[in-house]
Amino acid sequence: MKTYSRSLFAAVFILAGCVTAPSALTAQEAQTSEAAASMPVEATSFLGEPLYRKPASPEKAAAAEEALARLEASEELSEDDYIEIGGTVAGAGRYQDAIAAYSQGIADFEDSYKLRRHRAHRYITTRQLEKAYDDLKEAEALVKAADAESVYEYKGGHPHGTYAHWIQYHIGIYHYLNGDFANSAEAFEGCVKTSEDNDTLIGSVDWLYNAYLRNGQPDKASAVLELVDADIEADETYPYYKRVMMYKGVVSTEDVIDLSTPESWDGRDATVAYGVASGMIADGDDDAARSILKGVLNTSYWPIWAYVSAERDYARLVQDGE
């Protein structure tokens, strides 16, 4: 069943030489690219391109500097201190520094599933998938050993899903990026079961839907959408909400994204656009999908899951087309 409209520092896995870069930059994009190129390189994309640190707001940049100074000066930091420091530094786009902070924390707290889960996220951000997976599997084992399945993460001072939930979520992302959609679906099935609020449910259902669809299981994909009611209470600006409503046919593609103006997409638009492209790939419409993926890759939002996924899919499509 078609669920979209056809209208409009790290050693990483590199597919250099196997793919071509997305379309040429406009003059405005070139200027933006030149500004970005003055920033440090945080990672190398799956297409073999440097990924530059995005400039942070003055407030976030200052907070990151303060956090790093605290990391260097303090002789004793708690596990939560390291989590806070890593999160603050990552919030300023300094992902390699965040990884270093989490690593220092793990050296002090060898059995920390919390720090491994957070470091794994940033390993995926910086395209170091196997390092991320090693952390996630260790974190998964540590959670079980500590009988800590009900320990929550906090976001903005409020509980935001358990560590067990988010570890499985990132395992699902890992397998999805590697094209192992069966194992990705298994992980996201677990996430659906451990979702305790509408936002985490919607996000988990979204990824599970895509994993099923890409694994050639459209009936399962359609069935899982029934877990999200059309009138569910949720943030309607949330891109996964928009995608799920689009998959369900509650809204059309045109209602949630203008595919003809990729130059105007922000990170949320890029996330919605990727959902459209993923459905097209599952339906065998590679040419249309490739065009949308190029639009995603011509944005500057390389740290988000949609962009990382677009890199992987674009590389496969180009490689398969050779």
Give φ, ψ of 51 to 5 degrees.
Answer: -110, 115
Burial 155-191 (b: 16+ CB within 10 A, else e): eeeeebbbbbbbbbbbbbbbbbbeeebebbbbbbbbb
Q: What are the pLDDT digits (tens) for 215-232?
A: 999 999 999 999 999 999
The pLDDT > 70 percentage for the chain reads: 88
Q: What are the pLDDT digits (tens) for 167-194?
A: 999 999 999 999 999 999 999 999 999 9
Distance CA 317, CA 313 (A): 6
Structure token digits, residue 44: 């190398």
- Do residues 185 and 211 touch, judged by C-beta distance below 8 A? yes
The whole-number average pLDDT for the span 154-172 is 94
Q: What are the pLDDT digits (tens) for 10-22?
A: 222 222 233 334 4
Distance CA 69, CA 85 (A): 10
pLDDT at 99: 98
- Do residues 114 and 79 touch, judged by C-beta distance below 8 A? yes
Q: What are the pLDDT digits (tens) for 260-282?
A: 999 999 999 999 999 999 999 99
Distance CA 102, CA 87 (A): 9
Residue-averaged pLDDT of the chain: 90
Work out the pLDDT band at 157, boundaries 50, 70, 90. Answer: confident
Distance CA 185, CA 197 (A): 20
